Structures are given as structure tokens and as C-alpha cells.
Chain A
Amino acid sequence: MSAPARPPVVSLRGVSTRFGTNWVHKGVNLDIPPGEVVSLVGGSGSGKTTLLRQMVGLLTPSEGEVRLFGEPLFAGSREAQRQRRRRFAMCFQGGALFSAFTVYDNIAFPLREAGIASEAEIRDLVGLKLAMVELQPSHAALMPAELSGGMIKRVALARALALEPELLLLDEPTAGLDPTRSASFVALIRDLQQQLGLTVVLVTHDLDTLAALSSKVAVLAEQHILAFDTLEAVMQIEHPFIREFFLSERSVRALARGQGS
């Protein structure tokens, strides 16, 4: 799967971020190879979501460079940038569904914007994406305000998958879901990732999710990436944050639960 010739999907080089006089990141370096599921963890306020937003170009780092698929995000013509943007998709924490559109129109929106599929094909594609995220065709007519939290996350995922992205960024995919729903959502993402060969970057606080989903863990602490390795290897590292985050009694229980599922 991971031939050495392929460039990392996401590459951060010396990324530093400053809010006012406060340095959130200083010299963050991270290379995410294709096909990996990387969990970004860190204490609250350590700038995980900021880093995720920098990856997709919603925020520009004060210093350093972000490369996606081997190229800077803002390189090339408008058309080249648009093509590059089509290769990744993001699920926001609150879903960020268009509240004035039905579920159907939300999922169809990126397809219509891309202008490649006919309405009949879009109908089938929306049905397919709904089936992928385990929603019923009858849910297509609902408005986002009528959906439960778990359904919003699923629809957001279906919308993100609409244009067949190679890279999927998830901000707190299981926050606000009950344990059963969060477990099934995690299973869903894992299945889709395996079937579609996606690269996934997720920010999470939830150790169950982390253990069940991630092939690698990136620990963000002290303003840089403290460790980037498999969960087992990361847990071996002697550091107060890692000890507190992964090895507290509660954490160990959650991790065991996640790995078991």
C-alpha cells in the first residue's frame, strides 16, 4: 500500500501559530503517509483544531508551510486549486450542514457544484452515499433541524464523501454522541476507510474512538508534535502529558474497550 514513491498526503513543515502574543504552535513538523488514520490528540487549548483548520486552508499559519498531496495548498491557478480542494473533505464538529437545504440537497450540493453528474445520477449517488453512512432513503427529505446528533454527523460524512475525497479530515467525529452511537459511527468510518482506502486525520478527545480507529497517533503538546507513532509505541514514551493522557486508570479502561471493539 505505502510505496515510498508516494508523497505524504499531508505535510507540515515548521508550522508556527501565534494568537496575539501567545504561541500556540512552534515548529510543528508532521508527515502523514497515504492510507493512514491519524488521530491528533493533545490537551485542551493545544491547538488541535487550529492545526486541522490550517491543513485545509481555513487558517494560515504565522510561519511554516502546509503541503497537501505534495503541493502547497495555494499553489497554481484557480482551477488547479479547485482540483486540489476536491481531493479532500472535512467534517466539522457541529456538522455544518446547510440548514436551509434538505438532507438530499446537502449531499447533492457538492455534486451539483462540480457539474459532472446528471440529476438522475445525482439521485443514485445520494442514495448510495446515504446507504454508505447507514441512513434510510426516506431520510433524504428531512431538514437538518429535524435530525438527531448522530444523524447530523452521518449526513455530514455523506456530504464529505460525495466527491470521493482521498483525504478526510474529521473534527471531533464522536463528540456529543452516546457510547453506542459513537461506537457505530467509528465502525462506519473504519469500514469506509478500509473500502475506499482513504487517508483520515481526526481530532478527538475520545480514547475509545482513538483506540478503535487510528493506525497512528500524533501527540500535540508543548507547542509541537511530541510523538507520531502507533498507539502502543506512543504509550511507551516517558512524558508527563502522555502518562496523564493515556495511562490514567480511566484512559487504560477506555483504550482497552476501544481496541476490543
Chain B
Amino acid sequence: MGLEILVCMKQVPDTQKVKIDPERGTLIRKGVPSIMNPFDESALELALEIKEAVGGRITVLSMGIPDAECILRDSLTLGAEKAYLLTKGDFAGADTLATSYTISRAIKTIGKYDLLLFGKQAIDGDTAQVGPEVSAYLDLPVVTFVSDVIKVEKRSVVVERMIDNGKQVIKAPIPSVLTVVKARQRLRIPTIDGIVSSFERNVVRLGPDDIGADIKRCGLKGSPTRVKKIFSPEGKGSTSYIEGNLEQMSAEFIDVLKHKGLYRR
């Protein structure tokens, strides 16, 4: 049958390696590598599996600085056919409202899609708002917390979604927006042939004019959200790290316990 699948993705700092400047309350980004948001990796893997099962084409879309092209290029090596990057100063500083507006404008411009996949949330902002907001702008149904696509039918998909006490199976119409959780198979590794064929494909860059966007609704200008303060939660007590191989670490740990009188043979 062949589905047109769109995967929206974001380049994020590897938050496992990010620290917060305690005085200024801002993220220290220096030297922190950028990665594809892990939830978006799951969404892309799901898209690739759907494509393998029923055929189709995958388009990837992102908004960010020019360097965000890296995650789109990686997607092309894995088998995405088309890639678009929204990158222009007017887009900078966007909150989820302005982001969703911009992305929905772009989607209306670049094509019609059967399934629109988002990672459930990005690991830097953690809002989980962009997928549902885009669905509102596009007037499409949305299924959040999707963990798998069980079946693709002619005009619908059957998906599994995670809920607090288990799983829920839902039939959603085509087209729909799905936001994907991380509990899936990890994003695959590209093949040599995949990398070579990606050389033929380019990442198309889009600005506000290309998507007919009102720049007052984009970027910082279109963002009512104000960040009042970012801070590290105050730690209680202190943390010390034990280094070395397993044996050395265990031995040192036992020493610490002994020192505190918590270890007896």
C-alpha cells in the first residue's frame, strides 16, 4: 500500500553530559555533544519498521541551528527519502507554541502525510507538547505514548500505547499524529549501501517565506512562555565517586562502609 510517513525530530544536547551553572542558573553547553533526541530516535525506528512492513516513504523534518542538519543526514543514511530543516534567525528562541506553529506551517507546505511521528518529548525541554500542538494546528487526531504500531490498514492504524497500569490498544484513522515513547528497539545502525545512497540526497533548508509563516508568530516574538528561573535542585549531603575496575570499586566501597561503621564481616 505504501505510506507517506513524516518524522519530526530535534537536535538536543546530550543531557547525560550537561551541567547547570550554579550561579547563573543556565545550562553549560560548552563541550557537550549534540545528539538526536532519543525519543525521536524511537519514532524514526518505528517509521523504518512500518516502511519495511508495508512500504512507503519517510520524510524527516527538524527546526534548529544549521548544525541540526547532522541528525537529518543520519536519518537519510538510515533510509529516509527526504529531509527538511527549518533554520533562520526568525525561528530562534521559540517556545512550544511558536515551534508547533512553524512546524505545522512547514508540514502544510512540504506534503501530505499518512502518519506524522514525533518523539513523545525532547530530553532538553521535557514538555511533551509539540506533537499534540502540531496535531491541533493541523486539525488531526493525536495518539500519545505510542509504543508500537501493531497493524496498518487501508484507512487506519492499530497502535499500542503505554498507560499507567499497562497498555492500551487503539485504532486511529489515517492520517494521525503519533507521539512515540522510548521503550522500543533502539534505532538501527546504517548499512554501507544506505550511507552511500544518502550522498545523492540533500537536506532542504526552509525559511519563513518558504512556508508562508507569519514571523510575528515564530521564534521569540511568537513565544508567550517566559522562563523565570532554571536551577539545580539543592542536594542533600555530598556525593563522592569511586573509580577503577569492578574489584577496585567494590573494595573501596567496602572501605567506605567500614569507615562509617556499616560493614561487619
Bind each other: no
Residues of B whose CB lies within 8 Å of any CB of A are none
